[in-house]
Amino acid sequence: MLNMLIMISLSILILASAILAVQTKNLVVAVIAAGLVSLMASIGYLLLSAPDVAMTEAAIGSGLSTIIFFYVLNRVRGRDNG
């Protein structure tokens, strides 16, 4: 029962973060919200007893993708200013 309540809460957080990522005008907030979606998904995979998928999602989806998005955002902003 507790596991189901946690999964429902995670699902609501994932939907809210995804809507925030799509609707916001601030690119930094959108990147953070997209990373949060991946992080919550990895917690969900862990609760579903799939630790290998959870580690991959946390490392690639939440970590590496967010870093790459911030790197590209920084490069684009640097090009606009210079």
pLDDT tens, residue by residue, 10-36 = 999 999 999 999 999 999 999 999 999
pLDDT at 56: 94
- The C-alpha angle 28, 62, 49, rounded to 5 degrees, equals 150
Length of the chain counted residue by residue: 82
- The C-alpha angle 4, 56, 22, rounded to 5 degrees, equals 70
What single-letter DSSP state applies at residue 25? S
pLDDT at 80: 66
Q: Which domain holds residue 48?
A: 2-81
pLDDT at 60: 93
**pTM of the entire predicted model:** 0.85
Band of pLDDT at residue 81, cut at 50, 70 and 90: low
Across 39-51, average pLDDT: 94
pLDDT at 28: 94
Q: How many domains does the chain have?
A: 1
